């Protein structure tokens, strides 16, 4: 079953307790437009203080944003330098590995090199024996 349409219970003659409502907004609208009303000097001073404080806060906010921008820029530069340094370090490590391999190869051949004079002396003595030459 369809619901019946609601009829608002507002009546133009009902008293909603809004006496002076229009007057309040009319006075504020006139003061905002520069029409002098019943302004309190204390309120005017408070408004000026608040505007000064707001101006200071806005200035501080702008200064902080500028500083934040500078810091962000510096951070980006530092990150670029870090990446470049890491790339250099990687290349140095690769070169170090190559050098270590080369040195290891040389060290593996060193014992044969140290024995070379003894081998040469042994060969000299054998050749002398074969040729029938006396040594010493």
**Per-residue pLDDT tens for 85-134?**
999 999 999 999 999 999 999 999 988 888 989 999 999 888 888 888 77
Tokens of 84: 């470049």
**Any domain includes 91:** yes
Has residue 14 been placed in a domain? Answer: no
For 58, the domain range is 40-109
**Rounded distance between C-alpha atoms, residue 60 and residue 68, angstroms:** 12
The C-alpha atoms of residue 39 and residue 20 are separated, in whole angstroms, by 18
Which structure tokens are listed for 33? 């437009």
Number of domains the chain contains:
1
**Does the residue 90 lie in any domain?**
yes
- 136 part of a folded domain: no
The DSSP secondary structure of 90-102, one letter per residue, reads HHHHHHHHHHHHH
User: Is 7 inside any structural domain?
Assistant: no
Residue bearing the bigger pLDDT, 74 or 36: 74
Is residue 128 in a domain? no
Residue 73 token pair: 């820029």
And the tokens for 49? 């203080």
Check residue 35 and give its pLDDT: 46
End-to-end CA distance of the chain: 136
Tens-place pLDDT, residues 27-62: 555 555 554 544 688 999 999 999 999 999 999 999
Residue 96's pLDDT is 97
* 27 assigned to some structural domain: no
Residue 10 in tokens? 């507002």
Give a yes or no: residue 86 inside a domain: yes
């Amino acid at each position: 079953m369809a619901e019946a349409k609601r009829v608002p219970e507002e009546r133009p003659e009902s008293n909603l307790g809004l006496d002076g409502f229009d007057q309040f907004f009319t006075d504020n609208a006139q003061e905002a437009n520069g029409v002098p009303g019943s302004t309190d000097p204390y309120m005017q001073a408070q408004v000026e203080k608040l505007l000064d404080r707001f101006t200071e806060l806005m200035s501080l906010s702008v200064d902080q944003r500028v500083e934040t921008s500078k810091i962000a820029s510096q951070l980006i530069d530092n990150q670029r330098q870090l990446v470049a340094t890491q790339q250099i370090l990687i290349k140095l490590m690769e070169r170090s590995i190559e050098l270590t391999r080369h040195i290891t190869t040389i060290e593996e051949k060193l014992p044969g090199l140290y024995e070379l004079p003894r081998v040469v002396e042994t060969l000299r003595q054998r050749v002398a024996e074969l040729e029938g030459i006396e040594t010493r």
